[in-house]
Structure formats: C-alpha cells, structure tokens
C-alpha cells in the first residue's frame, strides 16, 4: 500500500490499505497497530481521507504501541499526530500542549532520537506564536543553532 502510494497509485494504495486494516482487525493484532497505522496514515490515508479523520486512529495507535512496548513506533505515531494536528489548523496553543505532553512520554521511553523528527514542527509553532527573535528562521528553544550539529548527528542515527 505504501509503495503504491509512493508511485502515485493512490486509489490502489487506499484499497490495499483498507484491506490490511480489515485483516488486522479480524486478527485482533493490536500489537501491530502503531507500525501499520504509522505507515498507512502517513503515506496513504492522509491523501485519501480528510486529515481530521486521521487524528484519532493515529493517536489510538500511539497508545496501543505504548501498551505493547513498541515505544519507537509509538513515538513515531506521536510525531505523525502532531504534524497532522498542525496541518488541520488546530489552535497552535493546543498543538503545542499536545506536543509537549507527547515529548515528555518520548523522553520517559528514551525515544528522543525519534522525537527529533518533530523538532522543526515544534520550532515552527514557537515561531508562529511569537516566541522567537527571528520568526523566519528555525532557531530557538526547540532547535538552538548551537546544537544543530548534535541534532543532525541524531537524525543520521534514526
């Protein structure tokens, strides 16, 4: 499904994605939710469904991932959730609060390197809320320029 979406067959990707979800639900494979949902909702359903309809399933997958101990993919679902919430034009203060809460969870489970995928979004939110000296530059509390080298090194290790 992800591959079909990548090559532009969104209709086929949607059909296979729905089929995969049906199989997963019939088998009650909740331990796989965060892995499957992160792929399908990030690459397929975001293109075929309304973005708002993607929020709850991705957050549910994140919670299920934490329950079964799949903390890396649960954190990835959290990053996807924050990005979709931002793109859905939710209030910036709400997205910021949600991202702070999910970031704390990522730290508890030692998933900061995965959470680094959300740092540009965090900084963009801070900039848009007026919490940056130079709002046109992604530099500030979330991504301080002096730490950019370590940030890039962490990104390469993901």
Q: Supply 15's token pair.
A: 């059909």
d(CA 158, CA 78) in angstroms, rounded, equals 16
- Domain segments of the chain as ranges: 2-157
pLDDT band at 153 (very low <50, low <70, confident <90, very high): low
Which pLDDT score is estimated for 148?
Answer: 60
Q: Name the pTM for this structure.
A: 0.84
Q: How far is CA 126 from CA 82, 96, 148, in A?
A: 14, 8, 17
Instruction: Compute the chain's Rg from CA coordinates.
Output: 16
Write the pLDDT tens digit of every residue in 49-82: 999 999 999 999 999 999 999 999 999 999 999 9
Answer with the residue of higher pLDDT: 145 or 51.
51
Task: Give the whole-angstrom CA distance, residue 66 versus residue 150.
Answer: 27
* Interval 79-135: pLDDT, tens: 999 999 999 988 999 999 999 999 999 999 999 999 999 999 999 999 999 988 877
């Amino acid at each position: 499904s992800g591959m079909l979406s990548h090559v532009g067959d969104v209709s086929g990707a949607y059909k296979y994605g729905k089929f995969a979800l049906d199989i997963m639900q019939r088998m009650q494979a909740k331990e796989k939710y965060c892995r499957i949902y992160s792929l399908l909702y990030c690459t397929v359903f975001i293109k075929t469904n309304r973005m708002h309809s993607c929020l709850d399933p991705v957050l549910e997958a994140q919670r299920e991932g934490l329950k079964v101990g799949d903390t890396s993919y649960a954190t990835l679902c959290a990053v996807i959730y924050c990005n979709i919430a931002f793109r859905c034009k939710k209030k910036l203060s709400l997205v910021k609060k949600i991202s702070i809460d999910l970031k704390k969870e990522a730290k508890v489970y030692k998933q900061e390197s995965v959470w680094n995928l959300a740092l540009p979004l965090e900084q963009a939110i801070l900039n848009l809320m007026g919490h940056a000296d130079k709002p046109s530059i992604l530099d500030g509390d979330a991504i301080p320029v002096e730490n950019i080298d370590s940030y890039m090194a962490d990104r390469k290790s993901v």
